[in-house]
Amino acid sequence: MNRIRKGDQVLVITGKNKGQRGDVLRVDGDRVFVSNVNLIKRHTKPNPQANQAGGIVEREASIHISNVQLFNPATNKGERVGIKTLEDKRKVRVFRSSGEVVDA
């Protein structure tokens, strides 16, 4: 079970984008793509078959999963996440500081 999933709100804790917050667009192994964080400029050629114009396109680059923390809206901070098994054998993610369940 991944500690960070698509759709989670995360906080960047290291690097040039430290302190920025955004939603996870996708998880690719041990790397995550976060909306409006770690933007790069990509020079693309026009592709008439795909109906794509050429030019400079700005898009998100990946960040290593260890450089982001799940954002806790209750404390307004990024926090560590653990995994806990409930009585009905379901695994859920919990915040380590408070034990509060992340996903209901």
Domains contained in the chain, CATH given: 8-45+55-95 (2.30.30.30)
Q: What is the pLDDT of residues 39-92, one digit of tens each?
A: 999 999 999 999 989 999 999 999 999 999 999 999 999 999 999 999 999 999
Q: What is the pLDDT of residues 22-41, one digit of tens each?
A: 999 999 999 999 999 999 99
What pTM did the predictor assign? 0.85
Compute the distance between CA of residue 79 and CA of residue 90 in angstroms, rounded to an integer: 22
Beta bridge partners of 79: 70
